[in-house]
Amino acid sequence: MEKVAVLGAGSWGTALAMVLHQNGHEVRLWTHDEDHAKRINKTHQNSDYLNNIQLPQDLVAYSDLTKAIDQVSAIVLVLPTKAIRPVCQQLKGVLTHQVTLIHGTKGIEPDTFKRVSEMIEEELPKDLYGEVVVLSGPSHAEEVSVFQPTTVSATSSDVAKSVHTQDLFMNERFRVYTNQDVLGVELGGALKNIIALGAGISDGLGYGDNAKAALVTRGLAEIARLGTAMGADPLTFVGLTGIGDLIVTSTSIHSRNWKTGHMLAKGESLEEILDKMGMVVEGVRTAKAAYQLAEERKIEMPITTGIYKILFEKADPREVVDQLMTRSKRPETDEVHHMLKKHYNDQ
Ligand SMILES: NC(=O)C1=CN([C@@H]2O[C@H](COP(=O)(O)OP(=O)(O)OC[C@H]3O[C@@H](n4cnc5c(N)ncnc54)[C@H](OP(=O)(O)O)[C@@H]3O)[C@@H](O)[C@H]2O)C=CC1
Ligand SMILES: O=C(CO)COP(=O)(O)O
């Protein structure tokens, strides 16, 4: 059994800490807030983030980063995208031994277009961890924390690191596959949040299942269009971290992105919603990054563009749907379908 630190005591960090604890590891759950750590250790609950969940007595919360990572074999970063750089800067001052570095964060940084693994590599010397592992897939914390069956993927260009991650997390309720396409997995995990905002908007406007199926399917087409143009494997987008995560986030009542879209369609302002949510809604910042990236690379992403305009230009959601429906006619298949077809024909 190993010592593992989970950095980020929100909903997903807590659920992942519980999985590691179930597997017999000594888990340290780190929060940047000393009072939060005290509350968790006193009540054995993290009620701000996971309601009515009892944590094991020996799952200890820390606010001292040096103590939290002392002698750990793995560090799992489970933070909002915007917290990745500052926490890595803190880690740089205190991490002095080799670890497997895993992250469970789903976002892209606006303006720089950096993925999470790229931000980590910019802030933290690689000789401490080698290659980053991404843990991603359709996995709401609310279900993982009550042991509902869940499947994810541990992805790294270093197969030994992804297998280490698989061994740390895998159990009969939490199935972990391995993958090597870090670019495709990170893009799929981040971009699906934008489409989930759209699914919430569609439901909030009172549109039906046909509209949502169309959003998910055409949303996947544009995610894959951008992803393959950037060099990702098109097959990744039809796997757990692509279509799998897109389905769960666009349809689950647990999704913060879906809820945000739903409230926007009901007329609440983005500021009010984010205030009320009290948890990160990654699709908002990532919509900005994806919109900028699509413009720069001249990739057609009409749904992402529409969501960006609703979020940042106060476009009317009904008008955005009308514009999407009345775009010029075209065949359904595009370059991604041709790449997939070629892949299967070459088998
Ligand atoms: N929730 C889920 O089901 C899943 C989430 N994810 C992804 O995991 C990532 C984290 O999400 P989640 O746990 O849900 O987010 P939450 O909003 O639930 O929790 C975020 C945590 O990060 C802490 N935090 C915020 N800023 C900083 C900072 N600068 N330094 C240190 N800690 C900070 C927050 O602390 P404070 O309490 O002080 O705000 C809080 O403890 C996101 O990218 C999300 O997309 C992936 C799969 C599933
Ligand atoms: O990534 C997630 C599920 O896989 C969580 O999505 P939300 O952030 O929308 O809740």
Are residues 193 and 156 part of one domain? no
Residue after which a domain boundary falls, among 157, 180, 203? 180
Binding residues for NAD(+): 8-13, 141, 256
What was the pLDDT predicted at 247?
A: 98
Name the pLDDT band for 86 (thresholds 50, 70, 90): very high
Does residue 168 sit in the same domain as residue 190? no
Whether 91 and 66 have beta carbons less than 8 Å apart is answered as: no
Q: Are residues 318 and 198 in the same domain?
A: yes
Q: Which of 174, 245, 285 has most ligand 2 atoms within 8 Å of CB, for mutation? A: 245
As for how many domains the chain has, the answer is 2
Q: Look up the CATH number of the domain holding residue 218.
A: 1.10.1040.10
ipTM above 0.95, yes or no: yes
Give me the pLDDT at residue 127, please: 95
For residues 110 and 215, membership in a common domain is answered with: no
Same domain, 207 and 86: no
Task: Clarify whether residues 55 and 140 are in a common domain.
Answer: yes
Q: How far is CA 106 from CA 83, 269, 313, in A?
A: 12, 24, 24
Please report the atom of ligand 2 found closest to the CA of residue 255.
Answer: 10
Q: Which single residue is written with the structure tokens 């399917």?
A: 217
Burial category of 19 from C-beta neighbours within 10 Å (exposed 0-12, middle 13-18, buried 19 and up)? buried
Question: Do 201 and 176 share a structural domain?
Answer: no
167: domain CATH number?
3.40.50.720
Domain boundary among 180, 210, 232: 180
Residue 340 confidence (pLDDT): 79
Q: Binding site for NADPH: what residues are annotated?
A: 11-12, 32, 49, 106, 141, 256, 280, 282
65 shares its domain with 94: yes
* Separation of CA 256 and ligand 2 centre (Å): 7
Which residues are designated catalytic? 192
- Using CA atoms, how far apart are residues 22 and 1, in angstroms rounded to an integer? 11
> Cβ(256) to ligand 2 under 6 A?
yes
Domain boundary among 154, 180, 206: 180
* Mean pLDDT value of segment 287-305: 96
The separation between the first and the last C-alpha atoms of the chain, rounded to the nearest angstrom, is 41
Q: Is there a single domain that holds both residue 194 and residue 106? A: no
At 128, the pLDDT band (50, 70, 90 cuts) reads very high
Report the candidate in 32, 100, 29 with the shortest Cα–Cα distance to residue 58.
29
- Determine which residue's CA is closest to atom 8 belonging to ligand 2: 256
For ligand 2, whether the C-beta of 245 sits within 6 Å is yes
- Asked if residue 145 and residue 132 are part of one domain, the reply reads yes
Domain extent, residue 283, equals 183-346
Counting ligand 1 atoms within 8 A of each CB, the residue from 7, 75, 79 with the most, and so the one to mutate, is: 79
Residues 127 and 224 in one domain: no
Same domain, 300 and 316: yes
- pLDDT at 339 exceeding the cut of 90: no
- pLDDT for 6-49, tens place per residue? 999 999 999 999 999 999 999 999 999 999 999 999 999 999 99
Nearest CA to ligand 2 atom 6: 255
Q: Is the CB of 6 under 6 A from ligand 1?
A: no
**Ligand 1, atom 4: closest residue by C-alpha:** 12
**CA 115 – CA 112 distance, rounded (Å):** 9
